[in-house]
Amino acid sequence: MGKYIIAGNWKMNKLPSETYDFVKEVAEATKGASCEVVCCTPYVCLAPAVEAAKGTHVKIGAENLHFEDKGAFTGEVSADMLVDMGIQYVIIGHSERREYFAETDETVNKKVIKALEKGLIPIVCCGESLEQREAGITMDLITIQIKKAFANVSAADAKKIVVAYEPIWAIGTGKTATDEQAEEVCGAIRKVLASLYDNATANAITIQYGGSMNAGNCAGLLAKPNIDGGLIGGASLKSADFAVITGAAK
């Protein structure tokens, strides 16, 4: 459906001093991949990451941004700052940011709109907790998350957005959603997008799965028709594992 994109989400791992060599290692290991390869790094690692990615196929992303252009927001980073550094992607609304940093569907939407305005590609995260899955409200919740994230986004801009479906119970737990569970929700997300826009727009949007995707389970997940890539946490910190995943995305 959408273009295959495999994005690493380093989270709060790796030092700036380790970044240049590691991105070079990723570039070497993932050479020849037929998908887009992205490393999303902590802010302080972005400069060496961009430097290392120069002249390679690897794209660099941030893990967050602020939705205002500039001003008195101590500790925050704007879209212009990221663009100025050569950043192309930005993760928005990761469940860890929703849980620990008061990210809401409203701030997610503001960040999506700002990222698009500045030419950054948003990777918008959605996903249910175990409690919500067991209560049978997974699709209700995800429908709301998607509708709110895409509010006031034109069809032309919607096609630029990457959606990452990440069931919270599968993140960092080693408990991956089954291929069928992941496909079911990713397919349902595409239907919500089709209802907001049209089939062609929905089909053009990359929908990733994330949550303990690794070298061992990626092939089955990525073979599903509605899974166009992955947002990879733990396995993105080892270039060989990450390369197996990028190799399976074709």
* Chain residues in the site for ligand PGA (CB under 6 A): 9, 166, 171-172, 210-213, 231-235
Q: Which residues contact 188 (CB under 8 A, 6 or more apart)?
A: 139, 142, 143
Pairing of strands 5-9, 206-210: unpaired
Nearer Cβ to ligand PGA (113/235): 235
Check 36, 63, 96, 166 and give the catalytic one: 166
Q: Is position 166 annotated as part of the catalytic site?
A: yes
To the nearest whole angstrom, how small is the minimum distance from the Cβ of residue 171 to ligand PGA? Answer: 4
**191: which 2 tokens?**
């239907």
Residue 124: burial class (beta carbons within 10 Å; 0-12, 13-18, 19+): buried
Q: Is position 94 annotated as part of the catalytic site?
A: yes
To the nearest whole angstrom, how small is the minimum distance from the Cβ of residue 175 to ligand PGA? Answer: 9
Nearer Cβ to ligand PGA (35/213): 213
Q: Which residue has the closest beta carbon to ligand PGA?
A: 233
Check 63, 66, 94, 128 and give the catalytic one: 94
Nearer Cβ to ligand PGA (235/243): 235
To the nearest whole angstrom, how small is the minimum distance from the Cβ of residue 229 to ligand PGA? Answer: 12
Q: Which residues of 127-161 are buried (b: 16+ CB within 10 A; e: fewer)?
A: bbbeebbeeeebeebbbebbebbbeebeeebbbbb
Q: Which residues are catalytic?
A: 94, 166
